[in-house]
Amino acid sequence: VTGTTTGLPTTDHASSTTNEVSPTLNHQPPATIADLTESELISHVTTRLPASPDWMVVGIGDDAAVVEPERNRLEVLSVDALVEGVHFDRRFTPAAAIGHRALAVNLSDLAAMGASPRLALLSLALPGDLPLAEFDSMIGELTAFAARCGVVIAGGNLTRIAGPMVLDVTVVGTVKRRRALTRGGARPGDALYVTGSIGAAAAGLQMLQADHTAASSCVNRYLYPEPRIRMGSLLGRNRAATACMDLSDGLADAVRQIASASGVGATIDAGALPIDPDARDWFGRHGLDAVVESITRGDDYELLIAASPRARGRLAAAVRHGDAPLTRIGSCTADSALSLRLGGSDTPLPRGYSHFR
């Protein structure tokens, strides 16, 4: 979908009356995206993009993108949406963080499949009163993050919405044949590992909800999650994992999904969980159970991994070359029970929460 360009009419909405006496005389209101045509806005995106790679046969500006597939690789595709008011609150989520997260949640899905990202398509539905500065900031961070991750923006769509802003991102990556990591390959006796640390994003969100200007490492983890792209692709490549999933809906949910897809049970050792120290401190000071908060809240874009005990060497190699530590947090069992081991006794694993209902 395209629009027609008729110059830069950013002053169309500015008052040109000369009998204005208020202190705002000659101060034009800040430009909003409604002051620009669709093609002007698109050029705010395209001018930020690096040169197209050779494999991009037709890029942005035609009805569709045309790309040369990568030889001897399978393709991995995922789509995810961020909806204002559901996945982020504009009162305390800077535009740059919105742009970052829209891509991060998708790259995390590719990482969970052991895939390397290749390209992304953006579909943005934006309210007309969005300040142009916020649009630029959102797009600036999104395109910079994409470039840093080697992701080519191959196309997109821009439309108005009379309501919450929606950012839909589709990512395409590749993985070698028989190297894709699914949720369904875990077996009884496999160990369960998690990358990095958990709980920080949930604590960061609570800090922002309490104080919209809060700043801390937890806030940063919530606003600018770093998907485990390198770790995912290493684990896929060296066949270290039997199953993998990202923690977008929380660790408890991920354990449940892998167990269900693999037909196994699981026991998680609460004492082994790599809970972020600052998050643990925050939860403690607010009378919250750090374990429950850290495993039932979403927004940690870490990976949950199942691996055979025989794969310890390959896991260690992935950690050596990867971008995150791995912590063993439990194991898969032959029955179907999901337990949390806490101080020597087992309780049922808490449920995550459903976004929809």
**Of residues 117-136, which lie at the interface with its own copies (CB under 8 A)?**
119, 121-123, 125, 128
- Residue appearing with tokens 């998690």: 194
| Interaction of residue 339 with its own copies, rule CB under 8 A | no
Question: Phi/psi of residue 82, each to 5°?
Answer: -110, 125
User: Interface with its own copies by CB under 8 A: which range of 43-51, 106-114, 206-214, 315-323?
Assistant: 106-114
Which residues, 8 to 37, sit near its own copies by CB under 8 A? 33-37
Q: In Å, how far are 16, 165, 225, 324, 355 from 297, measured between CA atoms? A: 51, 23, 14, 21, 11
Q: In the complex with its own copies, which residue's Cβ is closer, 51 or 162?
A: 162
Q: Does 226 bind its own copies (CB under 8 A)?
A: no
Interacting residue with its own copies among 100, 101, 256, 297 (CB under 8 A): 256
Task: List the Cα angle 222/241/79 in 5-degree steps.
Answer: 45
Instruction: Give yes or no for residue 1 binding its own copies (CB under 8 A).
Output: yes
In the range 156-215, which residues lie near its own copies by CB under 8 A? 156-164, 166, 168, 170, 172-173, 175, 180, 182-184
Of residues 35-54, those binding its own copies (CB under 8 A): 35-39, 41
- Whether residue 296 contacts residue 252, with contact meaning beta carbons closer than 8 Å, is answered with yes
- 291 contacts its own copies (rule: CB under 8 A): no
Q: Is 85 helix (H, G, I), strand (E, B) or coil?
A: coil
Residue by residue, DSSP assigns 196-249 as: S-BSHHHHHHHHHHH-TT--SHHHHHHHS----HHHHHHHHHTT--SEEEE-TT
Contact window for its own copies (CB under 8 A) among 46-54, 155-163, 196-204, 215-223:
155-163
Shortest distance (Å) from residue 299 CB to its own copies: 11
Check residue 75 for interaction with its own copies (CB under 8 A). yes
* Cβ contacts of 241 within 8 Å, gap of 6 or more: 114, 181, 185, 235, 305, 306, 307, 311, 315
How long, in residues, is the chain? 357
Choose, by CB under 8 A, the member of 235, 245, 338, 349 that binds its own copies: 245
87 binds its own copies, rule: CB under 8 A: yes
* Closer Cβ to its own copies, 82 or 207, answer by number: 82
